[in-house]
Amino acid sequence: MSTSSSSSQSARPTATSASSTASSNANEQVRSRNSGSVPRTSGPSATTGATPSSMRWDEQTIQFSVNAWVFVIAVLAVLPLIPKNLSNRAYRLSFMGTACSSLYSLYSLYGRPRAWNMQGLQVYFQSIVAAKDFIYFIYCLTFVTSHLCLKFALIPILCRALEQVAKFLRRNFGRSTIYRKYLEDPCVWVESNTTTLNILSSQAEIAIGFLLIISLLSWQRNIIQTFMYWQLLKLMYQAPVTAGYHQSTWSRIGRTVTPIIQRYAPFLNTPVSAVQRWWFR
């Protein structure tokens, strides 16, 4: 009897402590429900941020939209049946659209300057000055700010827009029925003839430089624009992204013009040598 009574007495505190623990847990649950708190979990959140691939997709879509718009506007600008006012407006809008596209591409690739002082801007411009988008940006600014309307200057713009649009369509609409039926062959041709388009662009850019020199003899002359454009041609000759095409074109011009000068106009050797020293400096 004494043994059973002692065991029952020892079991009572254990049962009492268990019941008190259960009641305290129940009270805490009731308090948490009343206060509206939700227990936190260490797992991943339900909403995740945009992935880098989606960000790149957005940038590519924006670039495609702008370049497609530029291509359509540039085609309208060069068509002979378009009214002159509409053609001139489309001419300037083509350069403005390409300038915006190039500037956005530079921002996507290089970001903003780390510091907005002279040293920070100098470092930033040294990093982007040889980029193809920067060259096209300066190219577009040269003609947007000028009253001289050279439709011939739209050839590099058309080549750039056509190349960008074809590349985007090939990568993102390869399974589309409309693309396969109507656009696949032109896009394949553009991508397989990228070198030809770049050579055409370089030849047009050099020809525009000589047209600007000839325009100095007319009432539409712009000395500042001509000087800036020849500085840009010099940059195109030295920048790695365009040097190959421009150097090849200039070599062909030199092989054609140099014998003519030496045979019929030897007095031009001195000014030509001075120009060459400035060019290669």
Which pLDDT tens digit goes with each residue over 128-160? Answer: 998 999 999 999 999 998 888 889 999 999 999
The average pLDDT across 180-206 equals 93
Name the residue type at position 80.
Answer: P
Q: How many CB atoms lie within 10 A of CB 90?
A: 19
Which pLDDT tens digit goes with each residue over 79-93? Answer: 988 898 999 999 999
**Buried b vs exposed e over 207-244: b needs ≥16 C-beta within 10 Å?**
ebeeebeebeeeeeebeebbebbbebbbbbbebeebee
C-alpha span between 107 and 9 (Å, rounded): 81
By three-state DSSP, how is residue 39 classified?
coil
Which pLDDT tens digit goes with each residue over 48-73? Answer: 444 444 445 578 888 999 999 999 99
C-alpha span between 250 and 235 (Å, rounded): 14
Q: Are 239 and 135 in contact (CB under 8 A)?
A: yes
Could you tell me what percentage of the chain is helix, strand and coil, using 3-state DSSP and rounding each to the nearest 5? 80, 0, 20
**Where do the domains of the chain lie?**
52-249+271-279
Report pLDDT for 221: 84
**Buried b vs exposed e over 173-200: b needs ≥16 C-beta within 10 Å?**
eeeeeeeeeebbeebeebeeeeeebbbb
**pTM strictly above 0.85:** no
